């Protein structure tokens, strides 16, 4: 077994187990910390796909910044341990299982539709994930419009955050 494959298997198991922990733990903070572990294993998986820049950003933005928001929401809502619900929830469980099966089927179908423009492990694949290639693609005519749109989305988020949380807004 090659080192790449070993690395992939370890990370895949880590990602799957931590994802299960997120939904199975009763304490919301434990769930959030499992989510951090999940993001870290995803970053490792990006590395095995030669997406170095994405891996670093995954760590910085998701495991770092986005998790701050998640933990803040937990603290804002002051969630304690999830209490066992008294009501029967077999109907809810059935709907949940059905919805996740539909979602899973959609994901698997989506994966079969993915185009692979470069072969894995080729020299092109090695270069594509590097920061310079990301920059070249981002500032090409193909992606510069979505890039500018991101600034508008961020602007809307900034205004929205201020409007929603500021008490006496003048």
Contact flag: residue 139 with another protein (CB under 8 A)? yes
Residues in binding contact with another protein, number by CB under 8 A: 49
Of 17-25, 84-92, 107-115, 159-167, the window that binds another protein (rule: CB under 8 A) is 159-167
Among 17, 93, 99, 131, indicate the residue that binds another protein (CB under 8 A).
131
Q: Measured in Å, how far apart are the chain's first and last C-alpha atoms?
A: 64
Sign of the C-alpha dihedral, residues 107, 112, 115, 121? positive
Which residue lies nearer to another protein by CB, 78 or 113?
A: 78
- The dihedral built from the CA positions of residue 124, 115, 57 and 37, taken in this order, carries a sign that is negative
Phi, psi of 154 (to 5 degrees): -65, -40
Q: Dihedral sign for Cα 10, 12, 15, 17, please.
A: negative
Nearer to another protein, 111 or 169 (CB): 169
- Is 154 one of the binding residues for another protein (CB under 8 A)? yes
What is the per-residue binding string for another protein in 22-61, x denoting contact by CB under 8 A? -------------------------xx-x--x---x--xx
Contact between 69 and another protein (CB under 8 A)?
Answer: yes
- Candidates 89, 105, 144, 146; binder of another protein (CB under 8 A) is 144
What whole-number distance in Å separates Cα of residue 45 and Cα of residue 7? 9
**Cβ–Cβ < 8 Å for 8, 48:** yes
Stretch that binds another protein, among 19-27, 88-96, 103-111, 148-156 (CB under 8 A): 148-156
Among 17, 105, 136, 146, binds another protein (CB under 8 A): 136
Give the angle subtended at the CA of 63 by the CAs of 2 and 55, to the nearest 5°: 40
């Amino acid at each position: 077994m090659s080192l790449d494959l070993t690395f992939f298997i370890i990370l895949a198991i880590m990602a799957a187990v931590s994802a299960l922990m997120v939904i199975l733990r009763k304490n919301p903070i434990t769930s959030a910390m499992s989510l951090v572990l999940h993001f870290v294993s995803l970053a490792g998986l990006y590395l095995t796909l030669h997406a170095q820049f994405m891996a670093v950003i995954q760590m910085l933005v998701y495991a770092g910044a986005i998790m701050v928001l998640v933990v803040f929401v937990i603290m804002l809502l002051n969630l304690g341990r999830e209490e066992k619900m008294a009501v029967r929830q077999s109907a809810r469980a059935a709907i949940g299982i059905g919805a996740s099966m539909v979602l899973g089927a959609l994901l698997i179908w989506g994966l079969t539709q993915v185009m692979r423009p470069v072969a894995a492990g080729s020299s092109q694949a090695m270069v594509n994930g590097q920061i310079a290639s990301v920059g070249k693609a981002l500032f090409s005519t193909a992606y510069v419009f979505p890039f500018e749109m991101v600034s508008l989305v961020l602007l809307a988020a900034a205004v929205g955050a201020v409007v929603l949380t500021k008490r006496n807004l003048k």
